A = this chain, B = another copy of it.
């Protein structure tokens, strides 16, 4: 019997390159790293990255378009999370192992009283 490696999934070069290009951006890479810890809403990202709301929205859209993240409306907020059923999920998880934890960003939100309490 052949052992299956659940951390491994081979993806064609073109698709992999697209994923890497997508995550080859400081903001987006930080975002997925955060989402690997906890779900997070758009307005929280805006505070964290000190960036305009449309800019944040556009980054999230690109990742949603490739299926890496998913959204869920909760009242007036839209909460994003990692899409664990994506065919790229294992690759993303693997990548994130090489990046430092972004937990401090959530701590910072708590401190500033900016954490949204709809979860």
Contact = CB atoms under 8 A, between A and B. Distances in A.
Please give the count of copies of this chain that the complex contains: 2
Interface of A is mostly: helix
Contacts of A11: 98-99
A12 B95 contact: no
A13 interface: yes
A100 B24 contact: no
Interface stretch (A14-22, A36-44, A68-76, A106-114): A14-22
Given A10-B100, A100-B13, A29 B33 contact: no
A37 B106 CA distance: 42
Interface of A: 8-14, 16-26, 28-30, 33, 90-91, 94-95, 97-100, 102
